[in-house]
Structure 1
Amino acid sequence: MTSGEVMGRDGVARTALLAVVLLDVVLLALTEVAWLSLQVGSVPLPVSILVAAVTTPLAVRLVDRCFPGSRLVFAPLVVWMVVVVVFGFWSPTGTGTFPPDWRPIVLIAAGLFPGVWVASRPVRPSSEAGSPG
């Protein structure tokens, strides 16, 4: 097996992983928008905000590990933001699914800010990760 074949297989595997991560981001964004209006009685229960704050940085970090130093690290954030905005402000009935209060703004902030912070932090090579210093 030549080094070109290994690099080709590695590139295909990384591209497939990127596609799976982006599909996961789309599904998570749809779920977060759908569950944003969850209430217990009259009290809002914005669990989807916590889910967004945890999952978007994880998706960004996974893409960053597969494509270190690439601008593809922002792909999960862009896809997540587009899905949240489109399905939050638009629906077949025309009114959108966002509740008319503070929750949509906090959802967008909770998904974007941690993801951008993680994207701005470079991935350390695994050889440096275990060494003290």
Structure 2
Amino acid sequence: MTTARAGSVFDGLALALLLINSVALAMLELFFLPLRFDGVILPDYGGAPAPVSVLVALMTTPWLVSRTAGLAVRMGGPAGFAGLPLTLWFVTVIGIGLFGPGGDLVLPQDWRAIALLAAGALPSAVVLGRVLAQARIARSGRPTR
């Protein structure tokens, strides 16, 4: 097996792991979204919400989009592949959140749901837009800054 082909196989595996990661992170962020400071898992601070998963979504989803863009470019695929983790994350959060296991509504009906969707989707959309713009500039042959 040549090194180019071995690199391609490893890049494909890394891409698959990034996509699986986006689904797994979406499920974990969704299931830990109702976490509260109620003395059961976290210390008792009057039952205040502790949306730690919003911070996790804020950090990991744009990173997944960025890493997928790098792999897609290295593999010679279109830059649009960078949107796959964001799409899978969003579909997982909405799908499981609204039509969860056993038909349960997992997504809380308050500000935490909006915060999770905003923290995961907005920064990732900015990263995706940057990646697509850079790909378009590279295709047109214009110099970048």
Q: Distance in 2 between matches of 1:66 and 1:95?
A: 36
Does residue 49 in structure 1 map to residue 49 in structure 2? no
Deviation at 1:12, TM superposition (A): 1.7
Which of 105, 126, 130 aligns to 2:114? It is 105
Partners of 2:102 and 2:15 lie apart in 1 by: 33
The alpha-carbon deviation at position 72 of structure 1 amounts to: 0.5
Corresponding residue SS for 1:121: helix
Q: Secondary structure at the match of 1:67?
A: helix
Q: CA RMSD in A?
A: 2.0
Matches within 5 A, 1:14-29: 14-29=11-26
Which one of the candidate residues 52, 58, 62 is aligned to 2:63? 58
The equivalent residue for 1:129 is none
Deviation, 1:9, is: 2.4
* TM-score between the two structures when normalised by the length of structure 2: 0.76
SS in structure 1 at match of 2:100: coil
Q: How far did 1:66 drift?
A: 1.2
The 3-state SS of whatever aligns with 1:43 is: strand
Q: Give the partner amino acid of 1:70.
A: A
Q: 1:62, CA displacement in angstroms?
A: 0.6
| Counterpart Cα distance in 1 of 2:24 and 2:55 | 16
Structure 2: where are the runs of 5+ without partners?
39-46, 136-144
- C-alpha displacement of 1:32: 0.2
Q: Which runs of 5+ in 1 are unaligned?
A: 125-132
From 28, 36, 39, the equivalent of 2:36 is: 39
The partner residue of 2:127 within 118, 127, 132 is 118
Please report the TM-score for the alignment, with normalisation by the length of structure 1: 0.82
* 4+ long deviations beyond 4 Å: none
